[in-house]
C-alpha cells in the first residue's frame, strides 16, 4: 500500500465523515455502524488525559455516556458521578436501629428522659414552695414581733378606760351573811346553790320589818351605779323596798321568777336582779327591807356594784 492508497475503507474510517465525499464513496467508505457515526474499529477522539497509557475505554451502549477514568485507571473524580465511587451507590446516612419488634435494636431512651424532666420540675416546685414558706415566715415575724410589755404596762389600766371603769376595778361585792341583819333575818345554808362563801345565805326576810344593811365605803366618784342582788325564791315572784342613804327608791326592787322556776323548788329558784342607785363620793348605806305591800318570800345570797352601764 502507498500513502495515497491504503485500500478501500481504511482512510475513510479515519475520517468519520469520509463516506460523505465522492472519492470516499468510490473507495468503498460506509456510514459508521457505531454510536453517533463513529466506527467501532477506529479509536474515537477522547478528552485530553482521558485515556492513560494505552488503556482502552469501555464502549457504552447507544445514547449513553461511557464512564470516565482518571489517572492510572482510577475513576476521575471530576467526571465521575457519586454512584461510580468505590462501593457504588450514593452515600447514605447511618441507619437508626429499629424500635421494638422481636427484640432487635432499641429506640431512644425516652423513659429516662421523661424521668429526668419530671425530677427537674419537682425540684423547681419544691424550691418555689420553700421560698414562699420562708417569705410567709418572714412576713409573720415582722408583723407579730414587738417589744415585750413591761410589768407597769400590763398592770396599768388602758388609757381608753372611762372613770366608771376605774371605779369598777374597785367597786365592792359582799356576801349577804356579812350584812347587818335586823327584823328577824338570820343565816342558813339548807338550800343548795348559794354562791356566798360556805353556801351561807340570809333567810327570814319574809316578814314586815326584816332588814339587811350594807355600808359601802370608798366610793371614788359620785354618780349613778347599778346594784345587783342575787336571791332565791320558791318559784313565786317577790320584791322588797330599796333605800340609799336613807331615801327609799320610788320603785321596789323586783325579784321576779325569771325563767319560770318550778313552784316550791328553792334550789332551782336562784336568780339575779338589779336596780339603779345614786351614790355619793365616800361612804354610802344601802338597805333592803320588807315593808307593807312587799312580797318578801326570798333568801338573799350576794350584793355588788357596777357602773351605770353594767360594766
What confidence tens digit (pLDDT) does each residue in 224-269 have? 999 999 999 999 999 999 999 999 999 999 999 999 999 999 999 9
Which residues is 69 bridged to in the sheet?
75
101-129 pLDDT, tens per residue? Answer: 444 555 566 777 888 888 888 888 888 87
- How many whole angstroms separate alpha carbon 200 and alpha carbon 175? 8
**Which of 129-138, 169-178, 212-221, 278-287 has the least mean pLDDT?**
129-138
Could you give the C-alpha distances from 12 to 17, 26, 81, in angstroms and in order? 7, 11, 35
Kindly tell me the sign of the dihedral angle through the C-alpha atoms of 243, 248, 249, 254.
positive
- Helix and strand numbers (H, E) in the chain are 5, 12
pLDDT at residue number 182: 98
Weakest-pLDDT range from 164-168, 211-215, 249-253, 297-301: 164-168
pLDDT reported for residue 66: 55
Amino acid at each position: 500500500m502507498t500513502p495515497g492508497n491504503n485500500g478501500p475503507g481504511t482512510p475513510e474510517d479515519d475520517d468519520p465523515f469520509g463516506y460523505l465525499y465522492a472519492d470516499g464513496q468510490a473507495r468503498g467508505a460506509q456510514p459508521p455502524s457505531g454510536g453517533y457515526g463513529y466506527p467501532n474499529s477506529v479509536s474515537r477522539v477522547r478528552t485530553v488525559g482521558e485515556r492513560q497509557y494505552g488503556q482502552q475505554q469501555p464502549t457504552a451502549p447507544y445514547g449513553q455516556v461511557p464512564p470516565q477514568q482518571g489517572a492510572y485507571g482510577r475513576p476521575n473524580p471530576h467526571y465521575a458521578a457519586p454512584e461510580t465511587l468505590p462501593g457504588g451507590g450514593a452515600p447514605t446516612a447511618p441507619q437508626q436501629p429499629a424500635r421494638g419488634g422481636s427484640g432487635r435494636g432499641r429506640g431512644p431512651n425516652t423513659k429516662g428522659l421523661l424521668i429526668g424532666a419530671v425530677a427537674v420540675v419537682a425540684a423547681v416546685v419544691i424550691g418555689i414552695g420553700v421560698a414562699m414558706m420562708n417569705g410567709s415566715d418572714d412576713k409573720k415575724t415582722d408583723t407579730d414581733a414587738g417589744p415585750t410589755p413591761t410589768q407597769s404596762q400590763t398592770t396599768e389600766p388602758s388609757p381608753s378606760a372611762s372613770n366608771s371603769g376605774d371605779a369598777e376595778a374597785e367597786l365592792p361585792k359582799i356576801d349577804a351573811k356579812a350584812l347587818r341583819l335586823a327584823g328577824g333575818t338570820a343565816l342558813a345554808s339548807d338550800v343548795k346553790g348559794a354562791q356566798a362563801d360556805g353556801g351561807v345565805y340570809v333567810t327570814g326576810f319574809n316578814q314586815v320589818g326584816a332588814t339587811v344593811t350594807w355600808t359601802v365605803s370608798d366610793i371614788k366618784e359620785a354618780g349613778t351605779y347599778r346594784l345587783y342582788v342575787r336571791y332565791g325564791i320558791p318559784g313565786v315572784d317577790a320584791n322588797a323596798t330599796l333605800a340609799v342613804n336613807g331615801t327609799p327608791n320610788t320603785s321596789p326592787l323586783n325579784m321576779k321568777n325569771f325563767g319560770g322556776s318550778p313552784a316550791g323548788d328553792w334550789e332551782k329558784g336562784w336568780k339575779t336582779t338589779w336596780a339603779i342607785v345614786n351614790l355619793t363620793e365616800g361612804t354610802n348605806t344601802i338597805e333592803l327591807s320588807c315593808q307593807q305591800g312587799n312580797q318578801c318570800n326570798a333568801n338573799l345570797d350576794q350584793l355588788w356594784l357596777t357602773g351605770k352601764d353594767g360594766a
